[in-house]
């Protein structure tokens, strides 16, 4: 399996090479040359596998430069009850991603937030940490990870990478834009290989810095800069697994179809659903939900992709989705335009120059229905109402992002097809809004009850690429 850039001007590479590299040298994102096709025989064989076994079966279709026995061992070490089932008493210890039915046979939550940072990002990031350590040890190498987070990626990456051999993490976050719990999860880590930088701006400003550093090829090579954001293909590949696992848990046979509702800011999570569908998973619909930052919803409604500037990006009560430049969206567009890198380069030349593109003026827009997407958006008032409704009707408390997903899911029912809403995080991470909605605090795992009181370590600086580079150099050369 070789990996190519969406912009077509970088050489095809192995999985291990792109795992460590992040963005392609031409500024594009890596995808496999073709998606492995999964037929009825595989679906039948996989239906009753445990999570680690299923992860191995799926990931082995994407990874052929790690020996099978080693990849299996990495999956078994990653997906264990000790890592993913410590937050909820009473769950089947073997069930890493349980399905919670709200309306049996019709509507359910796919629980993805039982990992160490209480967010779905743990599902892929814990594996990525083990893969990084494995590949670096084999190559006797090291890496310095530069990432940006709007809330959950940062803590998931840091918890996955803390103490790993040969890994330093430099994580950018928007100063004052995350919840108090999210900040505490990241900034309270005192590990020597973890470095937090809060930039005065929005997530997109932080993401732009990461891309600028990645596109400075001399700096990237000298300081061995890698990525763990969802621009890293390893993240997306690992997320494909829980779409299959959710499908098996929510259906009785492989003749059934299913819909997935996915809160989406950077398009990484739902991109994994798109890939699962392209591989052959019987997905009837992919329901994309945004908050007030509705760039993606606007595209699927109108065909226009128009990233917003920082001043136009809203700070909301579902802050992990306060994104107006969806990095992973380029992967989907690559498939939409028939995997023509010349078209992608032309489209993103407009985006990278601060503009937009309109696919309704092309023949490609007529194919959009073939990919199964529908979309919608949610407001703060919608989130409060959905959290209250879910608590009252289903005796289930959900976080603000999952509320966005549930709200939009209910707007797109399909007769005879169950909908799985992908849980984004546990409500404890967004306590202020849960109190506003329900008048009470959500439950917390015992080991995280006083996390905001821990000492925090973070450097605040302007959203300036040279300042961030200087910070990296200072810490690597001391």
Separation between Cα atoms, residue 251 and residue 45, nearest integer Å = 15
Is 305 a member of any domain?
Answer: yes
Instruction: Identify the pLDDT of residue 87.
Output: 58
Outline where DSSP puts E strands in 6-158. 30-32, 99-103, 107-110, 143-148
Which of 100, 121, 224, 393 is catalytic? The answer is 121
Domains: count for the chain:
1
Full domain range(s) for residue 379: 96-116+234-438
Separation between Cα atoms, residue 420 and residue 281, nearest integer Å = 14
Instruction: Identify the pLDDT of residue 131.
Output: 95
Is 347 a member of any domain?
Answer: yes
SS3 content of the chain, % helix, strand, coil (to 5): 45, 15, 40
224 catalytic residue (yes or no)? no
Is 36 a member of any domain?
Answer: no
Instruction: Identify the pLDDT of residue 228.
Output: 78
Q: What pLDDT digit, counting tens, does each position of 309-328 carry?
A: 888 999 999 988 998 889 89
Q: CB-based burial of residue 69 (10 Å sphere; 0-12 exposed, 13-18 middle, 19+ buried)?
A: exposed
Q: pTM of the entire structure? A: 0.92
Q: What pLDDT digit, counting tens, does each position of 28-44 carry?
A: 999 999 999 999 999 99
Cβ neighbors of 22 (< 8 A, separation 6 or more) are: 214, 225, 226, 227, 229, 231, 232
Is 282 a member of any domain?
Answer: yes
Is 187 a member of any domain?
Answer: no
Is 7 a member of any domain?
Answer: no
Is 452 a member of any domain?
Answer: no
3-state secondary structure 252-318: CCCCCCEEEEEECCCCHHHHHHHHHHHHCCCEEEEEEEECCCCHHHHHHHHCEECCCCHHHCCCCCC
Instruction: Identify the pLDDT of residue 113.
Output: 93
Positions of the chain with pLDDT lower than 50, given as ranges? 90-91, 93
Q: What CATH number is associated with residue 299?
A: 3.40.50.1100
Is 345 a member of any domain?
Answer: yes
Instruction: Identify the pLDDT of residue 94.
Output: 59
């Amino acid at each position: 399996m070789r990996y190519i850039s969406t912009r077509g001007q970088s050489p095809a590479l192995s999985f291990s090479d792109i795992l460590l590299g992040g963005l392609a040298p031409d500024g594009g994102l890596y995808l496999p040359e073709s998606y492995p096709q999964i037929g009825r025989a595989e679906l039948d064989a996989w239906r009753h596998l445990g999570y680690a076994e299923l992860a191995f079966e799926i990931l082995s279709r994407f990874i052929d430069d790690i020996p099978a026995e080693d990849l299996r061992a990495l999956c078994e070490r990653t997906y264990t009850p000790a890592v993913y089932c410590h937050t909820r008493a009473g769950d089947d210890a073997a069930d890493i991603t349980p399905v919670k039915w709200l309306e049996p046979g019709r509507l359910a939550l796919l629980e993805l937030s039982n990992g160490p940072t209480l967010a779905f990002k743990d599902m892929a990031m814990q594996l990525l940490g083990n893969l990084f350590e494995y590949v670096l040890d084999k190559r006797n190498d090291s890496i310095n990870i530069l990432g940006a987070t709007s809330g959950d990626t940062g803590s998931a990456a840091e918890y996955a990478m803390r103490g790993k051999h040969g890994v330093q993490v430099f994580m950018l976050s928007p100063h004052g834009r995350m919840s108090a719990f999210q900040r505490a999860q990241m900034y309270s880590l005192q590990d020597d290989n973890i470095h937090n930088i809060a930039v005065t701006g929005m997530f997109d400003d932080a993401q732009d810095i990461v891309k600028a550093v990645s596109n400075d090829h001399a700096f990237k090579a000298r300081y061995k800069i890698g990525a763990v954001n969802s621009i890293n293909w390893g993240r997306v590949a690992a997320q494909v697994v829980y779409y299959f696992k959710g499908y098996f848990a929510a259906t009785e046979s492989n003749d059934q179809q299913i819909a997935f509702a996915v809160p989406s800011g950077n398009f990484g999570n739902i991109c994994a659903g798109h890939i699962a569908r392209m591989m052959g998973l019987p997905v009837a619909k992919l329901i994309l939900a945004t908050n007030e930052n509705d760039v993606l919803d606007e595209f699927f409604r109108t065909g226009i992709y128009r990233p917003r500037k920082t001043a136009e990006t809203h700070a909301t009560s579902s802050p992990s989705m306060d994104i107006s430049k969806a990095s992973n969206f380029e992967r989907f567009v690559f498939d939409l335009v028939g995997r023509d890198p010349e078209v992608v380069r032309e489209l993103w030349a407009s985006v990278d120059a601060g503009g937009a593109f309109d696919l309704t003026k092309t023949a490609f827009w007529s194919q959009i229905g073939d990919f199964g997407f529908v979309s919608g958006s949610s407001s703060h008032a919608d989130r409060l109402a959905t959290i209250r409704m879910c608590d009252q009707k289903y005796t289930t408390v959900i976080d603000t992002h999952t509320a966005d997903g549930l709200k939009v899911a209910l707007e797109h029912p399909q007769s005879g097809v169950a909908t799985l809403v992908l849980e984004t995080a546990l409500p404890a991470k967004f306590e202020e809004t849960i109190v506003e909605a329900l008048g009470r605090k959500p439950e917390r795992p015992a080991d995280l009850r006083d996390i905001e009181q821990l000492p925090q370590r973070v450097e605040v600086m302007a959203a300036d690429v040279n300042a961030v580079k200087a910070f990296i150099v200072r810490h690597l050369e001391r």
